[in-house]
Amino acid sequence: MERQRNNKGQYASDKNFIERFWNKVKKTNTCWLWIGKRRIYGYGVVKYKNKEYSAHRFVWFLTYGKFPKKLVCHKCDNPPCIRPDHLFEGTHKDNIQDAIKKGRMLVGRVSHRRKLTFQQAEEIRKKYIPKQYGGMQKLIKEYGLSKRSIALILKRETYKK
């Protein structure tokens, strides 16, 4: 008895659920963006039967009728995108390699080579007063950078967030 009632209720709510799911998607010419609740990094969140799922994993389930065993990665590198043909199943390793290939991991690698922190670059911008005598030289000495490096920071060509 209990089971029957559940099944019926479930069927109705599934239909509504799927409708509500697609109401939270904005289709653009390229990506289909999740406009509902998002996690950090922009991944969509879906709550289904009291469990939370990533929207891009859930759309996989809706499309293929099963949850992916592996990670679902984005070909388009756009976390809120849930367009099934922009997604592929991969391992964690694939995901990292994919990220490196697309430059998503570059931030970490570049900052390793950086001489300054973003905060220091910001300091330089604040300290520098154009045409003030010695301003540039002082910064060169203080931070151990070349004139060119400082000029690039001031022009915001480097150390931009």
Nearer to Zn ion among residue 71 and residue 76 (C-beta): 76
Nearer to Zn ion among residue 81 and residue 139 (C-beta): 81
Q: d(Cα 147, Cα 136) in Å, to the nearest integer?
A: 7
Tell the smallest beta-carbon distance from residue 43 to Zn ion (Å): 12
Of the candidate residues 43, 54, 60, 86, the single one contacting Zn ion (CB under 5 A): 86
Tell the smallest beta-carbon distance from residue 54 to Zn ion (Å): 14
Total residues in contact with Zn ion, by rule CB under 5 A = 6
Tell the smallest beta-carbon distance from residue 78 to Zn ion (Å): 5
**For the residues of 13-51, what is the DSSP string, one character each?**
HHHHHHHHHHHTEEE-SS-EEE-S-B-GGG-BEEEETTE
Q: d(Cα 68, Cα 61) in Å, to the nearest integer?
A: 7
Nearer to Zn ion among residue 87 and residue 139 (C-beta): 87
Half-sphere exposure of 1 (CA within 13 A, CB side): 0
- Count the Cβ atoms, other than its own, within 10 Å of residue 144: 10
In the chain the first and final C-alpha atoms are separated, in Å, by 60
Binding mask 56-85 for Zn ion (x = CB under 5 A): --------------------x-x--x-x--
Please list every residue from 9 through 48 that binds Zn ion, using CB under 5 A: 31
Instruction: Report yes or no: 24 and 44 within 8 Å, Cβ to Cβ.
Output: yes
Interface residues toward Zn ion, by CB under 5 A: 31, 76, 78, 81, 83, 86
